[in-house]
Structure 1
Amino acid sequence: MAAKLTVEYDRVGDILYINKCSPYAEQESAEIEYGIVARLNPVTEEIENLEVMFFSKRFQESNVFELPIMADLHLSVKA
């Protein structure tokens, strides 16, 4: 079963969090680009969480913000 995405923004830390699940201790972490950390499932190596540091600065520098990942998005509930 696929998980819904949650997006949270920490204004104090200026970090954008994109989550498929809550982070947990067993996840592996990898900086996939400067200031972008992916948290990976330790078994499948699937990205489960992303942390984008300096988000407001990145967004102010350009009206387009791209993540160095590919996504396969689907509706969580059929209409």
Structure 2
Amino acid sequence: MADINHYWDLKDELDAVIDELVSTGDELLEEGRIDELNELISRRDEIKAELEALDDEFEEVVFFQEGDSLTFDV
């Protein structure tokens, strides 16, 4: 079974890579540092692929079935 903590770690890592791409991507491109830019893009793609694979391993969580209702005593 997949490790949910690893999943969230990957989500955090993906956010960090995307933040770095957004903040430095244009600069890397303008300075001709294409290899570094491509490395960030590749890392982003690897993380996304790993997250998709983990998504497939996790079962869907269903909190309510169709027809269920909540009742409250007041």
Task: Point out the structure with the larger helix share.
Answer: 2
Kindly indicate whether structure 1 or structure 2 has the higher relative contact order, using CA contacts under 8 Å at least 6 residues apart. 2
Task: Point out the structure with the larger strand share.
Answer: 1
